[in-house]
Amino acid sequence: MQLRQNSGVQISTENKRQSSREFGRRPHVAAWSPARTAAYFVSLPGYMRSAFLSYTSFYWISAVILMGVTLLGGISRVVPLPFNPISLHKLIMKYKIHTVFLGPYECIVLIHTPKPAEVDTSTLKVLVTGGANLKDIIFYALRKVYPGCMVMQIYGQTETGGALLKWSLNDPKEVALCWAKPSSAGKSFGGIWYKIVDEENEKILGPNQPGELYVKSDKLVMKGYYKRDSSECFDKSGWLKTGDLVYYDDYQCFFVIDRVKELIKYRGWHVPPVILEHLLMSHPVVARAVVVGLPNDEDGEHPTGLIILRDGVDPETVDVNQIAEFVNKQVDERKQLRGGVKIIKHIPLTATGKVRRRSLRDALLLGEDV
């Protein structure tokens, strides 16, 4: 046998990957290598030790980053079958899992499923979630499932090479803030500039003032979408518009409220669906909830609640008007569920576990069963 040398392959620090932003067909992002982000997480003490488990789909950039973390850190990774809360508990006990990454939907299912008394999950020290905003009540429930475990959410985008916010688990002050502010997505990364601006006039806003988050970086932010005009994604100074409604508090902890495009417009006011969704899920008969805006000739849109009932609850015994009133008493007049509350059978999700709000809205307008 005669060996011959191949022509070689040019290795570039640039790559293309899909974004979850909705542009019809999913666009590819021309960005810097996620290996940089993976290397950063390996350098953070506390996040990755011994073994970790993740159900993250490769539709998410986090799946690529986690693969890099595994290789760079020499860490064992458990690749599980599709999510099942009982199976998760048993895997944690069997493989002594230290860190778990879960999607928001998986977190909600987890807290509504009783944990078997015989499983020992004491090795689990870090539970991270991301992809959609979760409120304090969810994190308090997760802490009860895994006592002593640091439960946190992080925030990022494919367009920025992964995470944009994080908690440093080797910093006692940040650990204390994470415990005190569970719905915060963390603090800023070094090497990234952040500003929050008014969606209408791009005026820079200060602490506790919600606006759209813009970011800029020499290394991590994308250069644009592959073979697509991306000029509208940046402002005149080259800042990337994330499309997310965000604010930071006096401790510079960031809180993600919702996607700007998912805000419901009632008489010119912006109503974040996630606020109403968490109130709905605090009702004792509600397992999951989605709020969409249904068109109204006079008011623009009416917030409408769609709920899935908890197991064992008979729909015939549920008064949806009472549930709507339960929420309306806790919000100001412009955020009330003027479209009422409807019981549905399932919530359609994307491949990344996010709610298909547009599909739900269209089905309601067409009078289809959901």
Taking only the tens place, the pLDDT of each residue in 94-149 is 999 999 999 888 898 899 899 999 999 999 999 999 877 788 888 999 999 999 99
DSSP 8-state class, residue 26? P
**pLDDT value at residue 20:** 53
DSSP 8-state class, residue 353? S
Taking only the tens place, the pLDDT of each residue in 170-226 is 899 999 999 999 999 999 988 889 999 998 889 999 999 999 999 998 877 777 777
pTM above 0.95, yes or no: no
CATH no. for 14-260: 3.40.50.12780
- The Cα 129–Cα 150 span in angstroms is 11
Sorted by sequence, the CB contacts under 8 Å of residue 61 that are 6+ apart come out as 17, 34, 156, 157, 158, 161, 162
Q: Residue 322: helix, strand or coil by DSSP? A: helix
Domain ranges of the chain: 14-260, 263-365
Average pLDDT, the chain: 84
CATH topology of domain 263-365: GMP Synthetase; Chain A, domain 3 (3.30.300)
Taking only the tens place, the pLDDT of each residue in 232-263 is 888 999 999 998 999 999 999 999 988 888 88
Q: What angle do CA 192, 197, 201 make, to 5 degrees?
A: 140
C-alpha dihedral, 225 to 228 to 233 to 234, nearest 10°: 90
Phi and psi angles of residue 163, each rounded to the nearest 5 degrees, phi first = -70, 140
- The Cα 256–Cα 233 span in angstroms is 19
Question: Do the Cβ atoms of 234 and 215 come closer than 8 Å?
Answer: no
CA neighbours closer than 13 Å in the CB half-sphere of residue 224? 10
Q: How far is CA 255 from CA 42, 240, 244, 317, in A?
A: 25, 18, 10, 37
Q: What share of the chain is helix, strand, coil (3-state, %, to 5)?
A: 30, 30, 45
- The Cα 28–Cα 30 span in angstroms is 7
Q: How far is CA 273 from CA 67, 198, 245, 354, in A?
A: 33, 19, 12, 14
Buried b (16+ CB within 10 A) or exposed e, 291-305: bbbeeeeeeebbbbb
Residue, of 252 and 4, whose pLDDT is higher:
252
Does residue 308 have a pLDDT over 90? Answer: yes
Phi and psi angles of residue 212, each rounded to the nearest 5 degrees, phi first = -80, 135
CA neighbours closer than 13 Å in the CB half-sphere of residue 319? 4
Does residue 69 have a pLDDT over 90? Answer: no
**pLDDT value at residue 25:** 47
